[in-house]
Amino acid sequence: MYGKGMLKGLGVTLVRFWNTYWDDAVWMWRRVTTGDKRYHSKEGIAHRSSKNARGIFTVQYPEEKLPVPEEFRYLPFLVYDEGADGKREILCTSCGICAKVCPPQCIWIVRTNDPLTGRPVPQPAEFYIDGDICMSCGYCAEYCPFDAIKMDHDYELAAYTRNIYDLEKLLKSSTYYASIRPANAAREEEARKAKEAAKSARSATHAAAA
């Protein structure tokens, strides 16, 4: 029969249409019983990006925002540790690996030289990232041997001018880093502790041997 296929298809859209309103009714009931809201709430957004999602699928950005996963990457930043007296201890040693591995070559680093000896000091004098050229590939964070450069989670970066980030704009605290990437930060902290323990054990055996 001509038109059977069309009716079948229309059936699909009808079911979808019905589900949307049925779901709203179900959520209204849940709101009364458990207090869960369908819109503008964490559980509502989680439901809309789960395997049970049906009906309304969209997220009302910017009022609602999808949570970003830990590995989400968007433009790098430099990590500093808070020192005892509020001093910022920059982890970067200006070794230049990030600038060398960067595919669009958007990282510029000026190495600090000791004014007396002229020898390089492990600290960047200047650090630029051209945010308009950066492709957010994450290589700098991946290959940094000092865990000094990491990828950020902040994706709302619209600007009227070129996004050129200098050292001041790039520096963010290790507390912030641990807050956006808790699992990674914990793993790196553990590795650092293990390394230090191994180092002190080695020096202890050296001392014992001496």
Partner 1 sequence: MTTPASTPTLRPAQGDASDLAARFPGVVSPDTRPGFSGFTIPADKLVEVATIIRDELGYDLLSSVTGVDYLPENKMEVVYHAYKTTGGPALVFKVQVPRDNPVVASMTPIWKGAEFQEREAWDLLGIKFTGHPDLRRILMWEGFEGHPLRKDWKEAFYEEDAKPFKSRWPDGKHVLAEARNPFSDNLRFPSGFDPEKMTFADPEEALYRSLKKYTFEDADGIQADHIIVNLGPQHPSTHGVFRSAVILDGETVVSLKPVMGYLHRNHDKIGERNTFLQIIPYTDRLDYFCSMTNNHGYVLAVEKLMGIQVAERAEYIRVIMDEITRIQNHLIFFGMLLNDLGAMYTPALYAFEERELILDIFEAAAGSRMMCNYYRFGGVVRDVPAEALQKLRDLVFDRLPGKIDEMERLLTENDVLVSRLKGVGYLSAEDAINTSMTGPMLRASGVPYDIRRADPYSIYDRFDFKVACRPDGDLYARYMVRVDEVRESIKILQQALKQIPEGPTMSVKPQYQVRVPAGEAYGRIESPKGELGYYVISNGKPNPWRYHIRASSFINLTALEMMCKGEKIADFVAILGAIDIVLGELDR
Contacting residues toward partner 1, per CB under 8 A: 2-6, 8-9, 11-13, 16, 49-51, 53, 57, 68-73, 94, 96-97, 99-103, 105, 107-111, 120, 126, 128, 130, 133, 135-139, 142-143, 151, 162, 164
In the complex with partner 1, which residue's Cβ is closer, 2 or 160? Answer: 2
Shortest spacing between CB 184 and partner 1, in angstroms: 10
Shortest spacing between CB 82 and partner 1, in angstroms: 27
Shortest spacing between CB 132 and partner 1, in angstroms: 9
Q: Are 69 and 153 in contact (CB under 8 A)?
A: no
140/111 Cα distance (integer angstroms): 17
107/114 Cα distance (integer angstroms): 23
In the complex with partner 1, which residue's Cβ is closer, 41 or 112? Answer: 112
Q: Could you tell me the end-to-end alpha-carbon distance of the chain, in angstroms, rounded to an integer?
A: 96
Give the list of residues 6+ apart from residue 9 with CB closer than 8 angstroms, or none.
none
Shortest spacing between CB 70 and partner 1, in angstroms: 7
Helix, strand counts (H, E) of the chain? 7, 7
